[in-house]
Homo-oligomer: A and B are copies of this chain.
Amino acid sequence: MGAQTSRTDEWADVTPDAARRLLAAGVAAFAERGYHATTTRDIAGRAGMSPAALYIHYRTKEELLYRISGVGHRLALDILCRARDGAGTPAERLAEAVRRFVRWHAEHHTTARVVQYELGALGEEHRAEIVALRRETDAAVRSIIEDGVASGDFDVPDVRGTALAVLSLCVDVARWFNAAGERTPAEVGDLYADLVLRMAGHPGPSPRPA
């Protein structure tokens, strides 16, 4: 009946309670039907409120999407930055980045779907702000690959193109992942870490950090 919350609440620091419930309801609705096919009545209903209540906490339906998008992008970016700045060889860091990033996209695939595929529904300035976050995401992946090329761990003729492909591959997990499917988020993360190291020309199985 109520909003479908994720297992570890990603919106824990949003207050007041009603605003948080609306956010979670928005994520569920947008992920299921898409932004434009979702009505404010549907969102409010999932949160157990009347349609008018939405406008006490958010100025428009678009602002609700913007908040979701901002929180989601920052969480995903954080995962990559931590891996980039962590200890270990470039191969360990790339494997760890992909493993965690993919796992997040699988576990929170409803949020990730909204974050990755409803960007076009944002207004002009809000979209520009989110696109900037995305460029940082891209730079983080590229940076790890560059480290590996410099150290000789990787063999990558086209660093920009490979970084783009790696990110594209990981992000698309949100589209096809199904919680009722046969693979757990952790399994997909491990598989993808392996595939990405192969793309980077790293010999042997994907290493775990020490």
Contacts and interface: CB of A to CB of B under 8 A. Distances in A.
Interface of A: 33-34, 36-37, 117, 120-121, 157-158, 161-162, 164-165, 168-169, 171-173, 175-176, 183, 188, 191-192, 194-195, 198-199, 201
A120 B161 CA distance: 30
B164 A176 contact: yes
A87 to B, nearest CB: 27
Contacts of A201: 198
Contacts of A37: 36, 121
Main secondary structure of the interface of A (DSSP, over half): helix
Those 4 A-B pairs whose CB atoms lie nearest each other, nearest first: A36-B36, A172-B172, A36-B37, A168-B172
A116 to B, nearest CB: 8
Nearest to A171: B172
Contacts of A192: 165
24 contacts: A33-B120, A34-B36, A34-B120, A34-B121, A36-B36, A117-B117, A158-B191, A161-B188, A162-B191, A162-B195, A165-B169, A165-B191, A165-B195, A168-B169, A168-B172, A168-B173, A168-B175, A169-B169, A169-B172, A171-B172, A172-B175, A198-B198, A198-B199, A199-B199
